[in-house]
């Protein structure tokens, strides 16, 4: 399944579940319906507390943004004077998608909240007629009298949605996928006539979605290496304890990496590690790649023959060897084409041999590959295959 669809699947299912839940709200007891009036605020509070715990300032901004309909849900019923609020929601959703995470409560978060607050105050001024701009508060679906303010508003909405979709598609970004699903709820609220309790259910699904986002993101932080996007050391440890009796572990190391860093700098070294990791992630024959630490990677094979493992490792080695990496140093105007090689050592499981011992034996064979001239695959002679 494409990564873009995978990133969108959970957010979209959450919104769909909320929509269908709102259609059957009359089937639940009346006492629960009265509780549901407070559910959006409760879930929004939970999302804010979780964002504070995980130090996610962007989620705080998103929750503040999508809580707008909760604060004055009556405006959603008659669809009056909603265009400016919808424009603010969509525009800021696009803005938040491209913002760098800066933490929950610091000067960056305060500045961003102040920017959002100023926009909302301007919308409130329009809504209460403190200021008046002709046709600015017309409903977006009405095209009977197109005018410049309405055209500008529609342009902002279209461009904002385009930027969000673009980033989601290019990067399979889970944050953008959650933004898109949340905006789908805003669209439903702005186009479908629903009761107040149905609106509460839909809005609750939005805040529940952002709670799920924080859980998924925290899991990713714990198990996925931030630089290479490969599963990290903790994921490797959990994989090792779940392996069957027959498995193999290969240890990979970038040749002369310290010398490369000294020559080109650590930023260029990070680029090389990313490219190596990209090829390690594509390992065939059932292998799974991990970032072990530094310039070292691991690949785990379960229930594979020695021939299959040798073939997969040779493919990874040759692919990396033949790949040309274009580097541009910040203090130099010219680009440089470089290539790197890797050395690989592999070992097999045996009775009474722990996974840590298999890694140690694989490391020993890795060093043998280094001593033999590098850019080689060295495998344990007796693997029982």
**Same domain flag for 257 and 211:** no
Per-residue confidence (pLDDT) for residue 92, from 0 to 100: 85
**Same domain flag for 97 and 119:** yes
Answer whether residue 330 shows pLDDT above 80: no
Q: How far apart are CA 14 and CA 36, in angstroms?
A: 17
Is residue 62 one of the residues assigned to a domain?
yes
* Domain boundary, last residue among 197, 223, 249: 223
Per-residue confidence (pLDDT) for residue 57, from 0 to 100: 86
pLDDT band at 78 (very low <50, low <70, confident <90, very high): very low
Is residue 275 one of the residues assigned to a domain?
yes
Is residue 154 one of the residues assigned to a domain?
yes
Tally of residues, the chain = 385
* Domain boundary, last residue among 223, 254, 285: 223
Is residue 81 one of the residues assigned to a domain?
yes
Answer whether residue 197 shows pLDDT above 60: yes
Which of 219-228, 246-255, 266-275 shows the highest mean pLDDT?
246-255
Is residue 16 one of the residues assigned to a domain?
yes
**Same domain flag for 266 and 178:** no
Beta bridge partners of 346: 250, 379
95 vs 68, 160, 214, 270, 365, CA distance in Å? 17, 8, 19, 28, 50
Tokens (6 digits) for 201: 């259910």
Tally the C-alpha atoms within 13 A of residue 384's C-alpha that lie toward its C-beta.
10
Name the residue with higher pLDDT: 277 or 149. 277
| Domain boundaries, position 136 | 3-223
Q: What is the mean pLDDT of the chain?
A: 82
**Same domain flag for 278 and 362:** yes
8 A C-beta contact, residue 301 and residue 247:
yes
Strands 296-302, 288-293: pairing kind = antiparallel
**Same domain flag for 240 and 213:** no
Reference 178, options 221, 139, 215; nearest CA is 215
Beta bridge partners of 379: 346
Answer whether residue 167 shows pLDDT above 80: yes
Is residue 26 one of the residues assigned to a domain?
yes
Cβ-Cβ contacts under 8 Å for 99 (sequence gap 6 or more): 58, 61, 112
* Domain boundary, last residue among 157, 190, 223: 223
Reference 203, options 9, 19, 5; nearest CA is 19
pLDDT in tens, 26-66: 777 777 677 777 888 899 999 999 998 988 888 988 888 88
8 A C-beta contact, residue 378 and residue 365:
yes
**Same domain flag for 23 and 166:** yes
Q: How far apart are CA 99 and CA 59, in angstroms?
A: 11
Q: How far apart are CA 222 and CA 7, in angstroms?
A: 18
pLDDT band at 254 (very low <50, low <70, confident <90, very high): very high
Is residue 228 one of the residues assigned to a domain?
no
Which residue intervals of the chain are DSSP H helices?
A: 3-23, 30-35, 39-54, 57-66, 68-71, 74-78, 83-98, 107-127, 148-171, 174-191, 196-223, 233-241, 257-264, 266-281, 306-322, 355-371
In the chain, how many domains are there? 2
Is residue 365 one of the residues assigned to a domain?
yes
Mean pLDDT confidence for 279-304: 92
Q: How far apart are CA 72 and CA 77, in angstroms?
A: 10
Q: How far apart are CA 157 and CA 94, in angstroms?
A: 9
Name the residue with higher pLDDT: 118 or 361. 361
Secondary structure letter of residue 141 according to DSSP: T
pLDDT band at 71 (very low <50, low <70, confident <90, very high): low
**Same domain flag for 239 and 192:** no
Which segment of 83-97, 246-260, 368-382 scores lowest on mean pLDDT? 83-97
Q: How far apart are CA 32 and CA 291, in angstroms?
A: 48
The CATH number assigned to the domain holding 248 equals 3.30.70.270
Name the residue with higher pLDDT: 262 or 148. 262
8 A C-beta contact, residue 149 and residue 135:
yes
Strands 247-254, 288-293: pairing kind = unpaired
**Same domain flag for 172 and 245:** no
Per-residue confidence (pLDDT) for residue 311, from 0 to 100: 93
**Same domain flag for 214 and 245:** no
**Same domain flag for 199 and 246:** no
Q: What are phi and psi of 330, to 5 degrees?
A: -65, -35
Tokens (6 digits) for 70: 């909760």
Which position has the token pair 């594979």? 304
**Same domain flag for 275 and 359:** yes
Answer whether residue 68 shows pLDDT above 90: no
Mean pLDDT confidence for 211-220: 91
Beta bridge partners of 302: 247
Per-residue confidence (pLDDT) for residue 136, from 0 to 100: 47
**Same domain flag for 206 and 249:** no
């Amino acid at each position: 399944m494409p990564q873009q669809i995978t990133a969108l699947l959970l957010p979209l299912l959450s919104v769909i579940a909320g929509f269908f839940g709102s259609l059957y709200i009359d089937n639940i007891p009346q006492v629960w319906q009265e509780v549901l009036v407070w559910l959006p605020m409760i879930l929004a509070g939970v999302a804010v507390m979780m964002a504070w715990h995980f130090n996610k300032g962007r989620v705080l901004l998103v929750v503040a943004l999508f809580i707008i309909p909760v604060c004055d849900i009556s405006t959603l019923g008659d669809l009056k004077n909603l265009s400016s609020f919808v424009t603010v929601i969509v525009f800021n959703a696009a803005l938040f998608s491209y913002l760098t995470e800066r933490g929950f409560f610091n000067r960056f978060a305060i500045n961003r909240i102040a920017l959002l607050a100023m926009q909302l105050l301007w919308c409130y001024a329009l809504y209460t007629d403190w200021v008046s701009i002709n046709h600015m508060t017309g409903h977006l679906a009405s095209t009977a009298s197109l005018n410049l303010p309405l055209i500008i508003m529609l342009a902002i909405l279209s461009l904002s949605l385009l930027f969000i979709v673009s980033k989601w598609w290019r990067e399979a970004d889970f944050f953008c996928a959650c933004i898109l699903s949340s905006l789908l709820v805003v669209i439903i609220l702005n186009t479908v006539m629903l009761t107040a309790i149905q609106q509460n259910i839909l809005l609750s699904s939005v805040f529940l979605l952002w709670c799920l986002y924080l859980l998924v993101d925290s899991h990713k932080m714990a198990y996925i290496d931030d630089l290479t996007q490969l599963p990290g050391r903790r994921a490797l440890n959990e994989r090792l304890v779940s392996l069957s009796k027959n498995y193999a572990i290969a240890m990979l190391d970038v040749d002369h990496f310290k010398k490369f860093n000294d020559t080109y700098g650590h930023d260029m070294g990070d680029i090389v590690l990313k490219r190596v990791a990209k090829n390690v992630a594509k390992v065939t024959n059932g292998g799974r790649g991990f970032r072990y630490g530094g310039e070292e990677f691991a690949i785990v094979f379960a229930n594979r023959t020695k021939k299959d493992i040798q073939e997969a490792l040779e493919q990874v080695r040759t692919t990396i060897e033949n790949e040309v990496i274009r580097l541009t140093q910040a203090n130099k105007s010219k680009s440089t084409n470089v290539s790197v090689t890797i050395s690989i050592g592999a070992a097999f499981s045996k009775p009474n041999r722990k996974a840590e011992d298999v890694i140690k034996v694989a490391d020993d064979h890795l060093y043998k590959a280094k001593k033999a001239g590098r850019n080689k695959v060295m495998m344990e002679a007796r693997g029982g295959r």
